[in-house]
Structure 1
Amino acid sequence: MNIRRILFATGEVVPNNGQGYFPNDIKQLYNVPAQLDGTGQTIGILEFSNGYNLRDATQFWNAHNIPTPSVTFVSVDGTRNDGGVRPSDEEATLDLQWAGAMAPAAHIIVYEANGGQTYGEFAAAVTRSLTYILNDTQHHPSVLSISYGDAETSFPSSDIQKWDELIRQLDLKGITVCVSSGDDGAYGLHNPNGPRVKHADAPASVPHAVAVGGTSLQPDGSESAWTYNGPQNGGASGGGFSSIFPLPSAQSGITGTTVNGTSVTPSGRGIPDIACNADPATGYQIIFQSQPAVVGGTSVSSPVFAAIIALANQNRAAQNKTPLSGVGQALYAQNALSSYNDITTGNNSFDGVEGYAATTGWDACTGLGSFDAAKLINYLATL
């Protein structure tokens, strides 16, 4: 069950005359170092009942003069790659194409599992997959991207706590786990008929993951929170506070989030940690079933940021340093703050639930903000 929506945008507001951002646009706007390409790194992408067509990916990479990355399909439980034939396969398609675009020399492992038909089956699939990757002695990813999830209330808290323990163990092994913060704003539920209260998404809310939220990035480099603006880009950056996990020590100083102009005291683990472009109105190009399409959502933000972590690990390897661990905590250090583009406009209200406003410093719709990749990579080299 794919429980992360992929949103599409049409119209002349989309960059490149409606074609969406190209890889070089994102690299330039986020100052990605040209000398880094992911050499020596492995990026894991976790998919649930979503397949991909490698011909689509190769067509996309070729169109943008990107060397074709090495891609390996790994079935966690016998689930096959269906070849990208169903509409829901846009998820795996965009994950693969954009991780490869940002770090083309990295080896990409697509871990596939059966997501089931219920939230309980999906929760079991997440546990099964994280356990498999933790014990994978063959492929050795140094970063993992997960673009799936839903409100914490959709899953037993025991499952979510189990995910955090598994992600903690992965992190200790030098595998940074990046997770989309959600596309349903502060509401956080895919079910449009749920209670009109705020929800934080899981597994993004687990303290040992890096939760990646969404912004709206303009071609001039200006940026705001991904805010609901009607059906065309009918979503908003997921963000809020966990009802399961307390505020981590790394977030002890976060104070800059408001609702309707009133300061909110953090009540639990806050998400997201960081953000980048996700608004479908400033969306990303992909190739799906041989045709170009424009996509958005934090489903794209997560593999893009995961690729940045791969570049950071490449940079660390050149300095004889081990892969990163503890990134989620390290992002909040004082020395890291100059690496971010603070987002101070927009909000993540959605589906009748008043959300959080973007404001100076950390907030519960864009986290610490978006990133200057070169500065962030240089900072991560000091850890």
Structure 2
Amino acid sequence: MRRSLTVFLSLAVVGGLAATAPAVASAQGRQDIPQSHPLWASPQAKVADTAPSAKLDFRVYLNLRDQAGAEAAAQSVSDPDSKGYRNYLSPQQVRDRFSASDQTVGAVKSWLQGSGFQIGDVPSNRAYVEAVGTADQVQQAFAVKLGKYSVKGQTLRAADKNLSVPAPLANDVLGVIGVDQATSLFKPDHTDGSATPAAQSAKPGVVAPGPGFRNAGPCSTYYGEKVDTTDPAYQGKQLPYAPCGYTPAQLRSAYGLDTAAKLGADGRGTTIAIVDAFGSPTIYSDASTYAKRNDPSHPLTQGQFSQHVFPPTPGQEAPDQCDAAGWYGEETLDVEAAHALAPGANLLYVGGADCQDLSLDAALNYVIAGHKADIVSNSYGDTGEDIPADEVKAFNQISIQAVLEGIGVYFSSGDNGDEVARLGTPSPDFSASAPWITAVGGTSLAVGKNGQRTFETGWETGKSTLKNGAYTPAFPGAFNGGAGGGTSRLFPQPFYQKGVVPDALSTKNQTGNAKGRVVPDISAVADPNTGFLMGQTQTFPDGAYYDQYRIGGTSLASPVFAGIMAVADSLDHFHHGFINPVLYKLTSRTSAISDVKHVDAAVQRVDYANSVDASGGLLTSARTLDYPNLTIHTTKGYDDVTGLGSPNGLAFLLLV
């Protein structure tokens, strides 16, 4: 899991303003930043001091001038019952009303410069002040001692106690991110559904394309086209072969976007931003080749695609665990899926310098601060919610500004189901659990011969491998990945979920009469066994070149839903912004949402043992759809796998 801190600072969240923990007085006119010391950084875990000359890049995040006012305004512009509904603010209006003042920025910069730091970026929304310096300068400025600590198989840098700042700045500093390494990195939420582990990559900037993967046959061009009649029956049934990977036209048809296209609505007039780490050197070539091969009437033109990739931070002392080539695959999936659903929309890719919070938050803030897009799709997240207060508060402020500006921010709900297998207890994933974003869950989707949605159920997969004529383990198999969901321990129930999300779900993981935020909000296709055909440059035994394979994960669901919302923008002639209040108040319990229910179904899947060809043999397995043995379940009405359900064509596009 990404974080080891288990105590969280209270912060203002949707549904009510929680009391903020007071700063703790320290010696010599200083005040502590509460809970800025990771609990794992104990004397017993310390293995070394940090070299005084080590270079650190960190950010001092700044408080909004009026946190309560910003949240009230965010609710007003997004709530259809409010007089201020859709009266969005410009970035300049957000800065003028809520951002830290120039005086505050100047005071923080002056202190940092006086402490010997070189000042880096200050974004246009004045969210933070970036600084670069040595470990010794950090120790002096924040009155701490930096060391290296052994934690969960890693050696990470941290301070020996809470960071502190001069008392006159205490009310202005939201938190500091980057002094410690209390991060075990965001992971992209995509999967091909195979058992082959992702390869770790070389250092960013010199990364070769990731290892090649191909789907073996037989497979079906649509759900149910081919049935396995040669292998033993599974649960008394001969199973259909898994689809080879749905094409853009199949997904547009299944989600009813063809009708909107006939009305001239294909996403044009809307910009979708995609935020990931790094930047694939072959992204435009791959995405344009994919469109030419699989959707020739909707090419991806140079004028539709742009990117901004932050350069790596030189000299940064941090573990290199990012699997950059894996992030290349994530970027490619996101771009191709978004274009597939909204072929008229413009696409902006923004790549973080690495896969840590410091860089991904900066990439997201880049889009929001300059209103560079109308929709943002993010297909990554943490394992659970074990997140320090500084990161939660910083992310909360970025997402609130997005709401104020009318920007819709979508996050995939994760690919590890209820997280019990990894964490020991059920949990949704952060950032999907944050209250001011839309969490997109995942489904298994059956698209029929004529492009119709035959059925859609929750994506939770059970795998039974065929060995010596028998399936092991027996039905429903072993859990093999699925959509994240569940009830947050970190965030209380937001206003938009009240009266819609059942108490049986909102009271999970809570104490007393408390209710929590439940994930997800909405869902779309994610199951790699009923997944999307993707094209990407990969490294095969005979070289690196473009090839195609089936892929899934809620990394697919998020850009698919972002594409659907871009089509809604162009059909309705306005940008929808933060849609959760509308989803829960106007579309729940209506035909605009397809209620995703449990379906008893399974598919037969054949894989190459070596991932690329038949020379190493074939692996056959039955994949149970909507695996039942988790703490989250697909049920009638709102549920914690698929949320309210999935969008239902023109009815959804017109009602949101």
TM range (shorter): 0.7 to 0.9
- What secondary structure sits across from 2:380 in the alignment? coil
Residue 325 of structure 1 corresponds to which residue in structure 2? Answer: 577
2:271–2:346 CA contact under 8 A, matched in 1: yes
Query: Once the 2 structures are TM-superposed, how far is the Cα of residue 153 of structure 1 from its aligned partner?
Result: 3.2
Aligned to 2:491, the other structure's residue is in SS state coil
What residue in structure 1 maps to residue 432 of structure 2?
204
**2:260 counterpart of 1:47:** no
Query: CA separation in 1, counterparts of 2:380 and 2:509?
Result: 28
Map residues 4-15 of structure 1 onto 2, 5 A cutoff: 4-9=188-193, 10=215, 12=218, 15=221
Task: Map 1:136-215; keep pairs closer than 5 Å.
Answer: 136=370, 140-187=372-419, 194-215=422-443
Equivalent position SS for 2:400: helix
**Structure-1 residue corresponding to 2:549:** 293
SS, match of residue 214 in structure 1: strand
8 A contact 1:186–1:240 mirrored in 2: yes
| Structure 2 residue identity aligned to 1:48 | A
Give the direction of change, closer, same or farther, for the CA distance of 1:78–1:368 in structure 2 (3 Å limit). same
Report how far residue 342 of structure 1 moved.
Answer: 0.5
* 1:76 Cα deviation from its structure 2 partner: 3.9
Q: CA RMSD in A?
A: 2.7
1:38-117 paired onto structure 2 within 5 Å: 38-51=267-280, 52-63=282-293, 64-65=295-296, 66-69=298-301, 70-77=304-311, 86-116=325-355
Q: For 1:55, give the aligned amino acid.
A: S
Q: Is the 8 A contact 2:428 2:519 kept in 1?
A: yes
How far 1:154 sits from its partner (Å)? 4.1
Q: Name the CA distance, whole Å, in 2 between partners of 1:358 and 1:94.
A: 26
- Aligned residue for 1:184, secondary structure, equals coil
CA-to-aligned-CA distance 1:153-179 (integer Å, 9 cap, x gap): 343133123212211111211110010
Q: Which has the higher contact order (CA 8 A, sep 6+)?
A: 1
Distance 1:258 1:62, change over 3 A: farther
Cα deviation, residue 102, structure 1? 1.4
2:363 is paired with a residue of what secondary structure?
A: helix
Contact 1:15/1:282 (<8 A) preserved:
no
**Is 2:189–2:381's contact at 8 Å kept on the other side of the alignment?**
no
Corresponding residue SS for 1:294: strand
Cα distance change, pair 370–101 in 1 and its aligned pair in 2 (3 A): same
Find the partner of 1:343 among 596, 616, 631.
596
The amino acid of 1:197's aligned partner reads T
* Residues 508 and 516, structure 2, Cα contact 8 Å, conserved in 1: no
Contact 1:161 1:206 in 2 (8 A): no
Whether the 8 Å CA contact 1:256–1:360 is kept in 2: the answer is no
Secondary structure, aligned partner of 2:561: helix
**Retained in 2: the 8 A contact 1:240–1:365?**
yes
Deviations 1:12-68 (A, max 9, x none): 455447430001111111111223111111110001125252111111101122222
Paired residues in the alignment total: 356
Match of 2:570 among 294, 298, 314: 314
Distance in 2 separating the partners of 1:2 and 1:88? 10
Gaps of 5+ in 1: 117-121
Q: Secondary structure at the match of 2:557?
A: helix
Cα shift at 1:124:
1.9
Partner Cα separation in structure 2 for residue 268 and residue 354 of structure 1: 19
The Cα shift of 1:333 comes to 1.1
State the Cα distance separating 1:324 from its structure 2 match. 1.6
Greater strand share, structure number: 2
Q: 3-state DSSP class of the match of 1:245?
A: strand
| 8 A Cα contact 2:271 2:374, kept in partner | yes
TM-superposed CA distance for 1:256, in Å, is: 4.6
Q: Does the 8 Å contact 2:300/2:343 carry over to 1?
A: yes
Q: Name the CA distance, whole Å, in 2 between partners of 1:257 and 1:299.
A: 29
How far apart, CA to CA, are the structure 1 residues paired with 2:626 and 2:250? Answer: 25
2 CA distance for matches of 1:50 and 1:343? 35
Distance 1:249 1:149, change over 3 A: same
TM-score scaled to structure 2, two decimals?
A: 0.51
8 Å Cα contact 1:186/1:348 also seen in 2 = no
1:157–1:186 distance in 2 versus 1, CA, 3 Å: farther
What SS does structure 1 have at the residue aligned with 2:447? Answer: coil
Which AA in structure 2 matches 1:372?
A: N
Between the aligned residues of both structures, percent identity stands at 28
Residue 228 of structure 1 aligns to a residue in which SS?
A: strand
Judge conservation of contact 2:186–2:357 (CA < 8 Å) in 1. Answer: no
Partner of 2:256: 31
In the superposition, relative to structure 1, how do residues 339 and 49 fare at CA in structure 2: closer, same or farther (>3 Å)?
same
The 8 Å contact of residues 192 and 551 in structure 2, kept in 1 or not, is answered as: yes
Deviations 1:271-312 (A, max 9, x none): 110001100110100111110111000001001111111111
Indicate the structure (1 or 2) with the bigger Cα radius of gyration: 2
**Unpaired segments of 5 or more residues in structure 2?**
1-184, 194-214, 227-242, 314-322, 466-478, 538-545, 600-624
AA partner of residue 8 (structure 1): D
Where is the helix percentage greater, Structure 1 or Structure 2?
1
**For 1:109 and 1:225, how far apart are their aligned partners in 2?**
30
- Could you say which residue in structure 2 is the equivalent of 1:119? none
SS at 1:43's partner residue?
Answer: strand
Cα 1:20–1:349, aligned 2, differ >3 Å: closer, same or farther? closer
- Measured after TM superposition, the shift of residue 5 of structure 1 is 4.1
Aligned to 2:516: 268
Q: Does the 8 A contact of 1:50 with 1:91 survive in 2? A: no
Q: Give the counterpart letter for 2:192 in structure 1.
A: F
Change in Cα spacing, 1:127 to 1:2, as seen in structure 2 (3 Å) is closer
